[in-house]
Amino acid sequence: MKIATFNINGIKARIEALPRWLKAAEPDVVCLQEIKSVDEGFPRELFEEMGYQVETHGQKSFNGVAILSKYPLSDVTRGLPGDASDEQARWIEATVEGPRVVRVCGLYLPNGNPAPGPKYDYKLAWMERLEARARALMALEEPTLFLGDYNVIPQAEDAAKPGAWLEDALFLPQSRAAFRRLLNLGLTEAIRTRDPRPGVYTFWDYQANSWERGNGIRIDHVLLTPQAADLLEETGIDKDVRAGDKPSDHVPVWVRLAA
150 is catalytic: no
Nearest to 143 by CA among 102, 186, 96, 189: 102
- CB of 217 closer than 8 Å to CB of 153: yes
- Catalytic site residue from 52, 71, 108, 201: 108
- Whether 75 is a known active-site residue: answer no
Among 28, 149, 238, 249, the one annotated catalytic: 149
Q: Count other Cβ atoms within 10 Å, centred on residue 199.
A: 12
Contacts of 113-120 with C-beta under 8 Å, sequence gap 24+, read 113/168, 113/169, 113/170, 114/169, 115/167, 115/168, 115/169, 115/172, 119/169, 120/169, 120/172
Q: Which residues are catalytic?
A: 108, 149
